[in-house]
A and B are shown apart, each in its own frame.
Chain A
Amino acid sequence: MINRECGVYQTTYEGDMALYPVPLARYAALGGVVVLFLIPLVADSHQMAIVNLIALASIGAIGLNILVGYTGQVSLGHGAFMMVGSYTAAILTTRYGVPFWLGLPAGGAVAAAVGTFFGIPSLRIKGLYLAIATLAAQFIIEWTINHSPWISGGAQSTIYTPTPTFLGWPINTEYRRYYMILPVGVIAYVAALNLVRSRIGRAFIAVRDRDVAAQIIGVDIFRYKLLAFAVSSFYAGVAGALWTYYLKIANYEHFTLVTSVQYLAMIIIGGLGSVLGSVLGAVFITMLPIVLVYVVEGVAALFGFAYASIADFLANLRLIIFGGLIILFLTIEPEGLYRMWGNVKRYFRLWPFSY
């Protein structure tokens, strides 16, 4: 009944190649974007903070998915590339007065350069070895930034940025920050969707699936691998720069190995090789600790326990659930939340005739 393709005929190449050829999907997507822009009307400041965190995480997760999901290069260094973007933006803004909408692409560009450099080992090694090389990248970048006063701004390795302004308006509430992050997020999402449908995206997928065969038919896998690293690091850099403007501070302790692992978890749970999946995963992982706190507190209140006596339990439970969920998803649904979402859609396509 909700068979969306009924009656849709494409008569032009452009129509066929459009991102959302089916009108229903197109309107749904546009409607989704409108809803996103209207969220601040119903959310309070704390909820906006959560939404902002989710949005920030999504951008980074999309970038990582391009590298890991579409190109098959395991990377444990995502946090470090975000760090590069973050500090770049901070340095440009504090020392050279660069406005934030220039700082973002600049942060992305520098991170892309660094990412490409650390992608060079992918020329020689793959799989686990590449993963370990990226792990090394995480540590080396962290150490370099931490110990170069020129970059890190002194012993504190912290750079404060002034409140970013847009056309003279200071961006200093969660709502305004949301409007700073949202356009970037939407652009990142659409760009990623288009990237993976393009020639480059197909080359990425070829590198992931059958790199030897790809090389034989003329896909220069080294070049595309480096490109994947560059694009992914660009996203990471932009995400990192956004963190700087969001927190008004650049500090390396936000982007440690733990962060890299979290982003990997996001794309795995959300679905490798899917842009929507990255966003779903970001939502899930960001909300998990928050929801968990509410749930456990609620249950505890029901049974009359004070928070203090279960605080320890709660904190460790979060870790267990985090790890357990990763394992669960990998064993039960390796393609993640995206696949589950696809299952729901597929079910409703033929509903109520599901056979």
Chain B
Amino acid sequence: MAFFFDLLVNGLMIGSMYALVAMGFVLIYKATSVINFAQGELVMFGGYIAAAMVSLYHLPLAVAVPVLLGSMVVLGFALERGVLRPLVGRNVISVVMVTIGLAQVFQGLAAMVWGAATINMPLPIRLEPYIVWEVFISPINLVAAVASAGFLVAFAYFFRKSRMGIAMRAVANDQQAAMAVGINVRLIFALSWAIAGLAAGIGGIVWGNMLGVDTHLALVGLKVFPAVILGGLDSVPGAVLGGLIIGAVESVAAGYVDPYVGGGTKDFVPYVLMIVVLMIRPYGFLGREIIERV
């Protein structure tokens, strides 16, 4: 039984890291209707910047983190302006392919600038686990989970209570009406990309620490899809819920099912789950029923 809890706790903590990346994705989709296939690459870039500063230039973490967050915000703005703005209104596949193309460019660029080796992203937290009631908890996963959760809570507060946040919700709800009441929609677009960049940056630090930073870090972005489908493509709390569920299910399934099928369950259970949800409840657990059914 302890094994089950080991897996569950571990999975939930990883799930909160998924939630962080998923949240960025959903935010962009909600505010600008763009499906960002390059979310993983944003995480990768964030990871690279942070890891390069800490491991290659030996800057202390206290300097690295603000610089990272700042650069990610700038990157978000730049992406929105430079790449996505020209594609407003095009069909789904165009935008999907542009973000895929962007992903390739990022990968090549990152490898060119920082080299092909995997860079370590160390955090000053001990690695050995704590054992609490026979369940082992890894401090570093715990900190990552707490950081993700903290960001999500802060963001939820911002979204609900602050003026900017309310403006964002208005734009996500109905762009034309928001414009009609005088909200600067372009600013909101830029802001949502910036915040997604921020989320990706934090994601880059925590994922980079867990997996090491190199171009493969972008693959985290693929896991985002089951999470957001589960939670609902246009629901931020849904993204969080989806991330947690995927993390937990993956972990438990891999632990118990792997020995019988020779491994690899982690890869394909989230997608099976996703297809099931797509068939039964395509708009996810917390999404709104506005997706076009056929």
For the complex formed, measure the closest distance between the CB of A151 and the CB atoms of chain B, giving whole angstroms. Answer: 13
On whether A140 and B268 interact (CB within 8 A), knowing A132-B229, A323-B105, the answer reads: yes
**A326 near B101: Cβ-Cβ < 8 Å:** yes
Instruction: Verify if B116 is at the interface (C-beta below 8 Å from A).
Output: yes
**B92 near A316: Cβ-Cβ < 8 Å:** no
**B293 near A324: Cβ-Cβ < 8 Å:** no
- For A139, the chain B residues whose CB sits under 8 A away are 267-268, 271
- CA gap between A68 and B94 in the complex, in Å: 12
**A330 near B94: Cβ-Cβ < 8 Å:** yes
For the complex formed, measure the closest distance between the CB of A13 and the CB atoms of chain B, giving whole angstroms. Answer: 36
- CA gap between A313 and B115 in the complex, in Å: 9
Residue of B nearest to A127 (CB): B92
**Quick one: which of B185-221 are within 8 Å of A by CB?**
none
- For A133, the chain B residues whose CB sits under 8 A away are 274-275, 278
On whether A129 and B272 interact (CB within 8 A), knowing A312-B116, A313-B112, the answer reads: no
Instruction: Verify if B62 is at the interface (C-beta below 8 Å from A).
Output: no
Instruction: Verify if A320 is at the interface (C-beta below 8 Å from B).
Output: yes
Instruction: Verify if B96 is at the interface (C-beta below 8 Å from A).
Output: yes
- CA gap between A331 and B97 in the complex, in Å: 11
- For B294, the chain A residues whose CB sits under 8 A away are 122-126, 211, 221-222
For the complex formed, measure the closest distance between the CB of B45 and the CB atoms of chain A, giving whole angstroms. Answer: 14
- CA gap between A325 and B272 in the complex, in Å: 33
Instruction: Verify if A106 is at the interface (C-beta below 8 Å from B).
Output: no
What sequence of 0s and 1s flags, for each residue 163-203 of chain A, a beta carbon within 8 Å of any chain B beta carbon?
00000000000000000000000000000000000000000
> Which residue among B35, B271, B274 has the maximum number of chain A CB atoms within 10 Å of its CB?
B271
Instruction: Verify if A97 is at the interface (C-beta below 8 Å from B).
Output: no
Instruction: Verify if B104 is at the interface (C-beta below 8 Å from A).
Output: yes
**B109 near A320: Cβ-Cβ < 8 Å:** yes
- For A143, the chain B residues whose CB sits under 8 A away are 264, 267-268
Of B98, B107, B262, B279, which contacts A327 at CB under 8 A? B98
- CA gap between A134 and B249 in the complex, in Å: 21
- For B108, the chain A residues whose CB sits under 8 A away are 316-323
**B101 near A327: Cβ-Cβ < 8 Å:** yes
For the complex formed, measure the closest distance between the CB of B98 and the CB atoms of chain A, giving whole angstroms. Answer: 5
Residue of B nearest to A322 (CB): B104
- CA gap between A224 and B222 in the complex, in Å: 30
**A121 near B101: Cβ-Cβ < 8 Å:** no
**A265 near B97: Cβ-Cβ < 8 Å:** yes
Instruction: Verify if B261 is at the interface (C-beta below 8 Å from A).
Output: yes
Instruction: Verify if B78 is at the interface (C-beta below 8 Å from A).
Output: no
Of A121, A128, A317, which contacts B275 at CB under 8 A? A121
**B94 near A124: Cβ-Cβ < 8 Å:** no
**Quick one: which of A212-266 are within 8 Å of B by CB?**
221-222, 257, 261, 264-265
For the complex formed, measure the closest distance between the CB of B114 and the CB atoms of chain A, giving whole angstroms. Answer: 11
- CA gap between A129 and B222 in the complex, in Å: 14
Instruction: Verify if B291 is at the interface (C-beta below 8 Å from A).
Output: yes
> Which residue among A131, A319, A323, A334 has the maximum number of chain B CB atoms within 10 Å of its CB?
A323
For the complex formed, measure the closest distance between the CB of B52 and the CB atoms of chain A, giving whole angstroms. Answer: 16
**A264 near B278: Cβ-Cβ < 8 Å:** no
Query: Which label, helix, strand, loop or mixed, suits the secondary structure of the B interface?
Result: helix
Of A131, A221, A317, A324, which contacts B96 at CB under 8 A? A131
- For B102, the chain A residues whose CB sits under 8 A away are 323, 327
Instruction: Verify if B247 is at the interface (C-beta below 8 Å from A).
Output: no
For the complex formed, measure the closest distance between the CB of B89 and the CB atoms of chain A, giving whole angstroms. Answer: 12
Instruction: Verify if B285 is at the interface (C-beta below 8 Å from A).
Output: no
- For A147, the chain B residues whose CB sits under 8 A away are 261-264
> Which residue among A124, A132, A222 has the maximum number of chain B CB atoms within 10 Å of its CB?
A132
**Quick one: which of A109-143 are within 8 Å of B by CB?**
121-129, 131-133, 135-136, 139-140, 143
**A135 near B271: Cβ-Cβ < 8 Å:** yes
**A264 near B100: Cβ-Cβ < 8 Å:** yes
- CA gap between A323 and B293 in the complex, in Å: 32
- For B14, the chain A residues whose CB sits under 8 A away are none
- CA gap between A211 and B294 in the complex, in Å: 9
**A334 near B272: Cβ-Cβ < 8 Å:** no
- CA gap between A122 and B292 in the complex, in Å: 11
- For B292, the chain A residues whose CB sits under 8 A away are 126-127
Instruction: Verify if B225 is at the interface (C-beta below 8 Å from A).
Output: yes
**B97 near A326: Cβ-Cβ < 8 Å:** yes
- For B100, the chain A residues whose CB sits under 8 A away are 261, 264-265, 323, 326
- For B94, the chain A residues whose CB sits under 8 A away are 268, 330, 334
On whether A331 and B87 interact (CB within 8 A), knowing A132-B274, A136-B275, A320-B105, the answer reads: yes
- CA gap between A131 and B91 in the complex, in Å: 13
**A268 near B93: Cβ-Cβ < 8 Å:** yes
- CA gap between A348 and B106 in the complex, in Å: 40
**A74 near B96: Cβ-Cβ < 8 Å:** yes
- CA gap between A10 and B270 in the complex, in Å: 58
Instruction: Verify if B124 is at the interface (C-beta below 8 Å from A).
Output: no
Of B103, B226, B267, which contacts A323 at CB under 8 A? B103
- For B275, the chain A residues whose CB sits under 8 A away are 121, 133, 136, 140
For the complex formed, measure the closest distance between the CB of B26 and the CB atoms of chain A, giving whole angstroms. Answer: 12
**B293 near A124: Cβ-Cβ < 8 Å:** yes
Instruction: Verify if A146 is at the interface (C-beta below 8 Å from B).
Output: yes
On whether A136 and B274 interact (CB within 8 A), knowing A124-B293, A131-B96, A334-B94, the answer reads: yes
> Which residue among B97, B268, B274, B275 has the maximum number of chain A CB atoms within 10 Å of its CB?
B97
Ranked nearest first, the 10 interchain pairs of A and B with the lowest CB-CB distance are A323-B104, A319-B108, A326-B101, A320-B108, A136-B271, A323-B105, A323-B101, A143-B268, A316-B108, A327-B101
Known: A127-B292, A147-B261, A320-B108. 4 other contacts (CB 8 A): A261-B100, A264-B97, A322-B108, A330-B90
Of the A-B pairs whose beta carbons lie under 8 Å apart in the complex, a sample of 24, sorted by A's number, is: A121-B278, A124-B278, A126-B294, A128-B35, A128-B92, A132-B225, A132-B278, A135-B271, A136-B226, A139-B268, A139-B271, A140-B275, A143-B267, A147-B262, A211-B294, A268-B97, A272-B93, A319-B104, A319-B105, A319-B111, A324-B101, A325-B101, A327-B98, A331-B98
